[in-house]
């Protein structure tokens, strides 16, 4: 995986002009706020703050969305299981956000039906789920994408013929949204840039010290090795799983790891998403084009966030759950095309199992001019950003400027969504050129894993990578040695692929 000590190789050509301009602009004048972290939370704050007229900078140590925000289950959801835990406020907040996101970014929110089969003698009785999905619909202010319903045993088996029939009672069917997490980040960043935010990937925030009413910050440009010196009035720590790594931060995190496996849909044919259970835990089988995404796990993690990987035991856990529900399909490790592993940056408030920990968020003024933002979900990123920018205005002593992100379309009118969306865009040179010139892609994996998701969505990703590499070489002026290096680094990256690809 391309990571922090990742300079452009000798002869890699000039830095893209846009990046050079951004570097100059950030060094030029004091920003109102400098956001550390280019995941969904940082991106959302950048857009909101720029729309409210603030001077905004954002630095990301690796690629945008390379942290948790490209490693989720990609669901925009209230979280049916949190309802079972009695967290009604949390479910309502996220439910409202999911419907709102569909309004402002319809190209990134695909309504998706979920079939939740229930069995006699388990933790999920049908009568309880019936009530649960009704309440779930109501919590979207009565505007869920479609109304939930109950399926008889016969109807459940008609829709899912390979489902284990023994002790099956029937199912409930409810609706949530499917998105593409990394695309949501990219489009939010495109909107932020259009509103005037200065955004830099492969730039690591290293250190800050208070200098009067400002912060004096050291940032390292990982593409050139240059050290940058920036000043800002407010610093926002939006680094997700890395959030407690700075001496100024006061967040306490509990990191839990979750993995997803990608399989051919032919091997696990589902007409829409399916919820399967492991005791009180739930896993999803999510259709995505001719693939299905299956996950996730939820286990405590205490290693360095950048080292998180899918282990064989994680895959075994996921496949065991699938095979309990679809025993006739005998899904094996060889069916797994690829996988990804991510870390939930949960607030370390409680003991209990990882699945019991709240997905709520926290915004904290930990030092004068230093805001930590932690926890939360992809689904609630817009709301988190709104609350953070409200605090920033207070900190800057500015009058309250109303937030507009709940109403404005995510992308400004006239912005192309040709190469965006929930499903992987078709492979094309035009798309690759767009990702390089308009979406800050500088390495092969930036396109394959995050801008397009072709690694997960297309057959023969290794040969797709060679084609994409050749197009990127053309767009970015890579000489042959750089292309060879990019391909080698991509092929050897172990975190996104398994042997079966
Ligand atoms: C397995 C799994 C499944 C999930 N499924 C869902 C779901 O279906 N729906 C949902 O709503 N939520 C889901 N979530 C939660 C959601 O993905 C996260 O809450 C969200 O992506 C966190 O975003 P973030 O911006 O806080 O963190 P990140 O995306 O991790 O971004 C933080 C960024 O900070 C950067 N950074 C770190 N240190 C520095 C530094 N010194 N300088 C500059 N940059 C730095 C990192 O490189 C990283 O890119 C899931 C999470 C996991 C792990």
Q: Which pTM value belongs to this model?
A: 0.95
Q: Quote the CA–CA distance of 177 and 190 in Å, as a whole number.
A: 22
302 in the same domain as 284: yes
CATH number of the domain that residue 217 is part of? 3.50.50.60
Domain extent for 105: 84-178
Spacing, Cα 182 to ligand 1 middle (Å): 10
In ligand 1, which atom is closest to the CA atom of 62?
A: 47
User: Are 41 and 381 in contact, with CB atoms under 8 Å apart?
Assistant: yes
51 in any annotated domain:
yes
CB atoms within 10 A of CB 427: 15
Number of domains observed in the structure of the chain: 4
**Shortest-distance Cα residue to atom 21 of ligand 1:** 69
- Compute the chain's Rg from CA coordinates: 22
Q: Looking at residue 496, what is its pLDDT?
A: 52
Residue 84: pLDDT band by 50, 70, 90 thresholds?
A: confident
Asked whether the predicted pLDDT for residue 454 surpasses 90, the reply is: yes
Residue 355: pLDDT band by 50, 70, 90 thresholds?
A: low
Residue 266, burial from CB neighbour count under 10 angstroms (0-12, 13-18, 19+): exposed
CB atoms within 10 A of CB 147: 12
362 in the same domain as 248: yes
447 in any annotated domain:
yes
Ligand 1 pocket at CB < 6 A = 36-42, 59-62, 66-69, 71-75, 77, 204-205, 238-242, 258, 296, 342-345, 376-379
152 in any annotated domain:
yes
97 in the same domain as 162: yes
Q: Which range is least confidently modeled, 157-161, 340-344, 356-360, 414-418?
A: 356-360
Spacing, Cα 39 to ligand 1 middle (Å): 6
CB atoms within 10 A of CB 15: 17
Residue 359: pLDDT band by 50, 70, 90 thresholds?
A: confident
208 in the same domain as 141: no
Asked whether the predicted pLDDT for residue 14 surpasses 80, the reply is: no
Spacing, Cα 381 to ligand 1 middle (Å): 10
Q: Looking at residue 390, what is its pLDDT?
A: 97
* Overall average pLDDT of the 10-19 stretch: 64
Spacing, Cα 35 to ligand 1 middle (Å): 14
Cα–Cα distances (Å) from 172 to 111, 115, 271, in that order, read 16, 6, 15
* Overall average pLDDT of the 155-173 stretch: 97
Pick 292 or 361 by higher pLDDT. Answer: 292
418 in any annotated domain:
no
How far apart, in Å, do the first and last CA atoms of the chain sit? 17
Asked whether the predicted pLDDT for residue 500 surpasses 60, the reply is: no
CATH number of the domain that residue 312 is part of? 3.30.9.10
Q: Looking at residue 499, what is its pLDDT?
A: 36
- Residue 435 corresponds to which tokens in the numbers above? 């990702």
pLDDT tens per residue across span 237-252: 999 999 999 999 999 9
Measured CA angle at 305 (ends 253, 333), to 5 deg? 115
Asked whether the predicted pLDDT for residue 38 surpasses 90, the reply is: yes
Residue 494: pLDDT band by 50, 70, 90 thresholds?
A: low
- Residue 248 corresponds to which tokens in the numbers above? 């100024």
pLDDT tens per residue across span 99-158: 999 999 999 999 999 999 999 999 899 999 999 999 999 988 777 899 999 999 999 999
376 in the same domain as 229: yes
Dihedral Cα 405, 408, 412, 418, nearest 10 deg? 90
Task: State which of 69, 71, 114, 311 you would mutate to test the pocket of ligand 1, scoring each by most atoms of that ligand within 8 A of its C-beta.
Answer: 69
List the beta bridge partners of residue 56: 33
Q: Looking at residue 3, what is its pLDDT?
A: 44
Asked whether the predicted pLDDT for residue 468 surpasses 50, the reply is: yes
9 in any annotated domain:
no
Three-state DSSP class for residue 236: strand
Q: Quote the CA–CA distance of 41 and 388 in Å, as a whole number.
A: 10
162 in the same domain as 141: yes
Spacing, Cα 245 to ligand 1 middle (Å): 15
Asked whether the predicted pLDDT for residue 79 surpasses 90, the reply is: no
Q: What is the mean pLDDT of the chain?
A: 92
């Amino acid at each position: 995986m391309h990571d922090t000590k990742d300079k452009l190789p000798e002869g890699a050509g000039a830095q893209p002009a846009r990046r050079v301009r951004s570097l100059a602009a950030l060094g030029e004048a004091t920003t109102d706020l400098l956001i550390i972290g280019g995941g969904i939370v940082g991106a959302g704050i950048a857009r909101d703050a720029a729309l409210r007229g603030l001077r905004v900078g954002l630095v990301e140590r690796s690629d945008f969305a390379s942290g948790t925000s490209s490693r989720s289950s990609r669901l925009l959801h209230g979280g049916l299981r949190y309802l079972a835990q009695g967290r009604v406020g949390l479910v309502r907040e996220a439910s409202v956000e999911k419907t709102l996101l569909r309004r402002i970014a319809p190209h990134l929110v695909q309504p998706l039906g979920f079939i939740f089969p229930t069995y006699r003698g388990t933790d999920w009785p049908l009568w309880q789920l019936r009530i649960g999905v009704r309440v779930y619909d109501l919590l979207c202010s009565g505007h869920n994408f479609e109304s939930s319903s109950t399926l008889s045993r016969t109807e459940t088996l008609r829709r899912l013929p390979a489902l284990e029939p023994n002790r099956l009672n029937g199912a409930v069917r409810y609706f949530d949204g499917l998105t593409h997490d990394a695309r949501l980040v990219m489009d939010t960043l495109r909107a932020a840039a259009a509103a005037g935010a200065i955004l830099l990937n492969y730039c690591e925030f290293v250190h800050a010290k208070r200098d009067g009413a400002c912060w004096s910050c050291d940032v390292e440009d990982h593409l050139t090795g240059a050290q940058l010196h920036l000043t800002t009035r407010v610093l926002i720590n939006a680094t997700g799983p890395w959030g407690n790594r700075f001496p100024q931060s006061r967040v306490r995190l509990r990191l839990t790891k979750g993995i997803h496996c990608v399989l051919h849909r032919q091997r696990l044919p589902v007409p829409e998403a399916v919820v399967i259970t492991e005791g009180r835990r739930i896993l999803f089988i999510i259709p995505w084009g001719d693939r299905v995404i299956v996950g996730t796990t939820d286990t405590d993690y205490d290693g360095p966030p950048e080292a998180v990987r899918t282990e064989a035991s994680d895959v075994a856990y996921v496949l065991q759950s699938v095979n309990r529900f679809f025993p006739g399909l005998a899904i094996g490790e060889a069916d797994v095309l690829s996988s990804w592993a991510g870390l939930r940056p949960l607030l370390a408030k409680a003991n209990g199992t990882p699945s019991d920990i709240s997905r709520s968020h926290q915004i904290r003024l930990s030092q004068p001019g230093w805001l930590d933002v932690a926890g939360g979900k992809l689904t609630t990123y817009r709301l988190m950003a709104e609350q953070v920018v409200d605090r920033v205005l207070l900190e800057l002593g500015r009058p309250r400027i109303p937030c507009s992100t709940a109403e404005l379309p995510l992308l400004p009118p006239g912005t192309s969504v040709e190469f965006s969306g929930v499903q992987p865009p078709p492979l094309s040179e035009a798309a690759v050129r767009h990702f390089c010139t308009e979406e800050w892609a500088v390495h092969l994996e930036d396109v394959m894993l995050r801008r397009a998701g072709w690694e997960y969505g297309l057959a023969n990703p290794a040969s797709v990578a060679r084609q994409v590499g050749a197009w990127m070489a053309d767009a970015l002026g890579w000489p042959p040695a750089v292309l060879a290096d990019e391909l080698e680094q991509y092929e050897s990256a172990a975190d996104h692929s398994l042997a079966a690809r």
